[in-house]
Structure 1
């Protein structure tokens, strides 16, 4: 077999594998649908493998297509990384930082860090992505993020982590709920209430930590709803669909009509950590770490 595959073939395949629809993929690629079909057929002839199962109402990846998509994703991620690293090497200035975060990071430290970053390094563009803890870990390890702000107890090999802030939890209740901070005595008072919690997709270790609060209060909660979005939790509580437990920093920055009961007398605490890839070294890493250290010093 003569090697005739070009980068454009792989990119055409990548887009079609994402869309699984020839017309939509062709529109993304700004080529005709017949032209895309010819390119894919050419690839299949070169590789001597069927990449897509085509039907009247569907397009599906074959086993060979699934394998190739995985490899092509790795290839294009590596090319993006190479392009970015070369741009950094060719410039005296850091031009971009990619930051992942969970919602509570904005309320506790991230906003302040971004203010300092903009003041001290106005030319640096920041790409912000609100993601679950696990997704941030994955993207940092794959070098698709420079940093992440997460709530985790255990970190995989290859991840550096710095504790940013350790805080207590708060109960979230409707504004007119009969129990408020002044007359609160114990979490066990809420054993008959439905709870709205961050799901395990937010963080398995965080979810387990919250469950330990209920265990210490000697009841199993009725978890009525789960989500990964703080504002959704507050809005659902406001509508009387349940109560919630969240990191105390989430009291700041939201205008929902709910009240908070600080759980400062229980032992559970949650830690917001900064993570980054231990094997990556470029000027942007040191720049952002210096900004973080400056903010932590000011906070202390």
Structure 2
């Protein structure tokens, strides 16, 4: 039988073929497929023309698979199953049930429930791979713009136009002091008491918005912080304080960091809190991102000294 190159093989043809191969009766196969018998006969003829081989023999004794049909049956079944698997995978990806999420985070979120969030999400989304990387806010913004991250947890909502943001939670700032510092004995710290102290701040390059906010907090209380050191990660800032190299103002989450030699005290004055935002590219499809954000816990968890 010559191959009819004018007709393409369709999945409909495979389903019809497999139904007839199992029933070996045109009437029963048509009933199973919820079609009439003539369209089934036409589809089988089209399939045989596309394949270039006779797949069924039909005579007074009934319908039988030819040797070519028996050989084709195995491949047809496997091909249809792969197609169905591919369709199911596409639906799962569109629904956010399957895929890979590249997540950036700032260090403070580690002490505000990020690990528990990730564990709970992975428990209910076993087919999703979440790849996490700690980056300061500016590095996350750069990675989002370069399409190297799908979602970032950052300390600012001042973003380039290509990025969108949504608030996750906020928490107070606290004073961070060396354990042996004279002010460490106080229950709370007036900000003016830090005016003559060497400051360790988060890097201006790593998070311009955060750096500027802390400087502005100090300026409103009559002084500019005497900058001694900068760190690109908050844990570096707290570690430098713990070593007696200066004082700092940090998000309250770092009270949970467990770094020996650093103590944390509330600030006597009320300030605008430290905030964490989710950030992503506006032009990026986001079913998986949206599903992950929808599973966010009630943040931040209460602090227990």
Residue 158 (structure 1) shift: 2.5
Residue matched to 1:277? 281
- TM value normalised by structure 2: 0.63
Residue matched to 2:298? 296
2:231 paired with 1:227: yes
Change (3 A) 1:201 1:282: same
2:181 paired with 1:196: no
Distance 2:153 2:130 in 1: 14
Residue matched to 1:216? 220
Residue 257 (structure 1) shift: 2.0
Change (3 A) 1:153 1:125: closer
Distance 1:183 1:148 in 2: 35
1:136 to 140, 144, 148: 140
Q: SS of the counterpart of 1:180?
A: helix
5+ unaligned residues in a row in structure 2: which ranges? 1-88
Residue matched to 1:14? none
Distance 1:202 1:183 in 2: 31
Distance 1:257 1:128 in 2: 29
1:166 to 165, 170, 190: 170
Residue 89 (structure 1) shift: 4.0
Distance 2:301 2:148 in 1: 29
- Which stretch of structure 1 is more off in the superposition, 106-115 or 95-104? 106-115
Q: SS of the counterpart of 1:212?
A: helix
Contact 1:168 1:264 in 2 (8 A): no
Change (3 A) 1:112 1:218: same
Distance 2:151 2:124 in 1: 19
Distance 1:239 1:285 in 2: 39
5+ unaligned residues in a row in structure 1: which ranges? 1-87
Distance 2:194 2:175 in 1: 10
User: RMSD value over aligned CA atoms?
Assistant: 2.6
| Structure whose CA Rg is larger | 2
Residue 225 (structure 1) shift: 0.2
Aligned residue pair count: 213
